[in-house]
Amino acid sequence: MDRIKNYIDGKWVESKSGETFRSINPARRNEVVGVVVRSGREDVDQAVKAAQQAYESWRLTPAPRRGEILFKAAEILSRDKESLGRLETREMGKVLSEGLGDVQEAIDMGYYMAGEGRRFSGETVPSELPAKDMKSLRVPVGVFGLITPWNFPIAIPSWKVFPALICGNTAVLKPSSDTPVCATKFVEILVEAGLPKGVLNLVHGPGGEVGEYLASHPGVDAISFTGSFDTGKRLEGICGAIHRMIVTEMGGKNAIIVMDDANLDLAVEGAIWGGFGTTGQRCTAATRLVVHRKVYQKFIEKFRKRASRLKLGDGLQKETHVGPVINESQFNKILRYVEVGKKEGAKLILGGKACQKGNCAEGYFIEPTIFVNVSPEMRIAQEEIFGPVVSVIQTEDLEEAIRIVNRTPYGLSSAIYTQDVNSSAVAERDLETGIVYINASTIGAEIQLPFGGIKHSGYGRKEAGGRGGALDTYSRWKVIYRDFSGRLQKAQIDK
Ligand code: NAP
């Protein structure tokens, strides 16, 4: 079993308090994945100080050189992909193929951001005056506090660390206390790739103490947070009060519309993987299915039949389709929501129970759960459950379906299955979410385009690549005007 330390100023160190906490395998509660140092304010102080000191030389390191280190990190991630994927399954519970996919996202992000080191461009534009030139430059922001959740335990740290570093910032990473070992392996890889000391620091510990102190620390210039709406909103308040930039990526209540002309088999597959992939623990999970009246019964039958064949178990076992949920508190919360759904009058047609036998005896397993006859305003159709619970809602037509999708506090991802190009165009125009999929599920974003939501799903700028993506989040514009009319005047006088 690993002992997991903080990484501060180029050294792996214990926390000041000497206290520890345990990271466990949610599929086998008795298996401890790591014993982790529990940090406090003093550890954060040291990490921020190291990041401040390193900033002076890192910001002056040419961006292509910074990119070379990121490129090397991506190579090491590729080399270690299999073992990292297995670690993700042990620590977070997702099935191995998804664990490997998560690592692949980090690899892709590493290569992509390494390339940005050579494309880091601004603009030059003509001046209104004959002896003046002007340009805009991207410059780093300073020290970033990066706070990450457990559901993509390597990909999300990489989505923040790689762009922050390529832009010339230094950083303090505070990962989820449910997946500290994955985050630590990721930092180890950057160290192996040659990252200078102090550029990236890692501090483990409870979010309410360590994360909140980091967000309000006077030595930090900006915060990038991914996690729940409640935490994100709280941090937005803290940062707003001290005029600190913050970017938040938060929850979702994503929906798939299934129209009467949809390819139902395709739509069922999308609903299965959107609803039950990662055990429903994706910010983009398809937790609502808004299905046209004409195909409602047929769709439900197919969907139920397909979902009932999903096998629960340890994600390292080949036959497993759906792993455990992350921890006891999520386990209890999800089961409470099942009771809420029943009380609200929705009809439970599959699952709804914990599974504690056979492969599932030792972990936090909940059966894939389907509610039908759900009305859009029910709590199970409005609130983020973050587990394998899907609500099916009937709709009359496209316009009503779009209204239902839009009528939640969230706005991250949505999808429509239809064969009609006009319906897809209307959906693309009118769905109020950061991401819209046509004939694909609500999951599967790629890093070459900006990622993020609106309303309660996100605040501030976006993540990932493309125009308006992470470079805009992790750098700021500096505009330079140069007036050389003095030189012209001198030339005229000399003449
Ligand atoms: P969370 O409870 O909000 O925690 C996220 C991170 O914030 C963790 O590192 C946590 O540390 C820390 N934290 C908790 N309380 C804090 C506080 N008061 N101040 C500062 N930091 C604090 O969320 P989660 O359960 O880890 O993740 C699930 C949520 O993330 C879901 O809502 C999901 O939709 C969302 N998510 C969104 C995206 C997106 O891109 N939109 C992607 C993935 C996940 P501890 O672990 O130590 O508590």
Reported as a pLDDT band with limits 50, 70 and 90, residue 270 is very high
**What's the rounded Cα separation, in Å, for the pair 417 and 302?**
15
pLDDT reading at 2 higher than 80: no
Q: Which of 182, 283, 355, 360 is catalytic?
A: 283
Residue 434 in contact with residue 468, Cβ under 8 Å? Answer: no
225: tokens are 């947070």
pLDDT of residue 3: 87
Residue 135 CA to ligand 1 center (angstroms) comes to 39
Contact status, residue 5 vs residue 13, Cβ threshold 8 Å: yes
Residue 488 has pLDDT above 80, yes or no: no
Banded pLDDT at 388 (limits 50, 70, 90): very high
CB-facing half-sphere around the CA of 472: CA atoms within 13 A: 14
Q: What is the pLDDT at residue 324?
A: 98
For residue 273, how far is its CA from the centre of ligand 1 (angstroms)? 23
Tell me the pLDDT tens digit for each residue of 49-77.
Answer: 999 999 999 999 999 999 999 999 999 99
Q: Is the CB of 159 under 6 A from ligand 1?
A: no
Is the pLDDT reported for residue 175 higher than 80?
A: yes
- At 492 the pLDDT is 75
Task: Give me the pLDDT at residue 368, please.
Answer: 98
DSSP state at residue 339: H
396 is catalytic: no
Residue in 91, 98, 212, 249 annotated catalytic: 249
- 486: exposed, middle or buried (C-beta count within 10 Å: 0-12, 13-18, 19+)? exposed
What tens digit of pLDDT does each residue of 15-47 get? Answer: 999 999 999 999 999 999 999 999 999 999 999
Nearest atom (ligand 1) to Cα of 228: 32
Using only C-alpha atoms, the chain has a radius of gyration, in whole angstroms, of 24
Query: Which residue has a Cα nearest atom 48 of ligand 1?
Result: 207
Average pLDDT, whole number, for the chain? 97
* The pLDDT value given to residue 468: 87
Q: What pLDDT is stored for residue 1 in this prediction?
A: 59
Tokens of 70: 């990121």
Taking residues 374-396, report their average pLDDT: 98
For the segment 76-121, what is each residue's pLDDT rounded down to a tens digit?
Answer: 999 999 999 999 999 999 999 999 999 999 999 999 999 999 998 9
What pLDDT shows up at residue 493? 72
The atom of ligand 1 lying closest to the CA of 234 is 18
* Mean pLDDT of the region 302-320: 97
pLDDT 10s digits, 330-379: 999 999 999 999 999 999 999 999 999 988 999 999 999 999 999 999 99
Q: Look up residue 165 and give its two tokens.
A: 């570093």
Is 355 tagged catalytic?
A: no
Nearest residue by C-alpha to atom 8 in ligand 1: 176
β-bridge partners, 242? none
* pLDDT score recorded for residue 106: 98
Please, where are the H alpha helices in 351-420? 379-382, 398-406
Whether the predicted pLDDT of 490 surpasses 80? no
For the cut 90, the answer to whether the pLDDT of residue 305 exceeds it is yes
